[in-house]
Structure 1
Amino acid sequence: MSHQETIQLLRTALATMPGAPSGIASLARTWRAQTALLSALPPRFAEVAENFLGRLEAASLFSEESCSYSRQDLLDHLGAWLDQAQLALQKSASL
């Protein structure tokens, strides 16, 4: 699978993720399994993605009111991460 296909897979996973904790766990597993994409990016990308995924998993354990992490904000941040990853891959391909 190409890196662009992997990014699309992750975008689809974000868009179709159910709000239940099992959906979040599945999203995190899918995301973490994309080792080829993560290794093709600068190391900081993996750190940032893991930070967002960890917070998302923590937020899934609590109701929206009792957790300091907004689930939707974290999903939005993961979407922005995908945008930045795509740009980084395009830059490295053009060098």
Structure 2
Amino acid sequence: MSTRHLDTLLIDFRSGELDATALAHGFRDTAAHWPGLPERYSQVLGQLLMQVESSALFTEESCSFSRGDLSDALGQWLAKARQVAPH
């Protein structure tokens, strides 16, 4: 399984074309099948996705996490995960 589709998910989420639930599902599913991904990366991803899903409960103005900031954080996680467990 490639991780390239996660880049597309991030782009679509940032633009508003993809909702938080679909983004979280895509990342969780990929991480669950990512050979060599360290457990600590899965834990950090879980925390990030919790923030993503929580942000969906609020409007942009009332949430402390912006869509852009969350996308950036997931992008950083993805880049580091690819370094430690190339896929």
**TM-score normalised by L of structure 2:** 0.84
Q: Which has the larger radius of gyration?
A: 1
- Distance in 2, matches of 1:87 and 1:73, equals 21
**1:54 maps to which of 29, 50, 56:** 50
- Distance in 2, matches of 1:84 and 1:55, equals 19
Which residues of 2 match residues 11-90 of structure 1 at below 5 A?
11-17=7-13, 19=16, 23-34=19-30, 35-37=32-34, 40-90=36-86
**TM-score normalised by L of structure 1:** 0.78
User: Is contact 1:14–1:79 with CA below 8 Å preserved after alignment?
Assistant: yes
User: Is contact 1:52–1:78 with CA below 8 Å preserved after alignment?
Assistant: yes
Taking only the aligned residue pairs, the percentage that are identical comes to: 37
Structure 2 unmatched ranges of 5 or more: none
| Greater RCO (CA < 8 Å, at least 6 residues apart) | 2
Amino acid at match of 2:26: T
Q: Tell me which protein shows more helix as a share of its residues.
A: 1
CA-atom RMSD, angstroms? 2.0
User: Structure 1 runs of 4+ off > 6 angstroms?
Assistant: none
How many residue pairs get matched?
A: 85
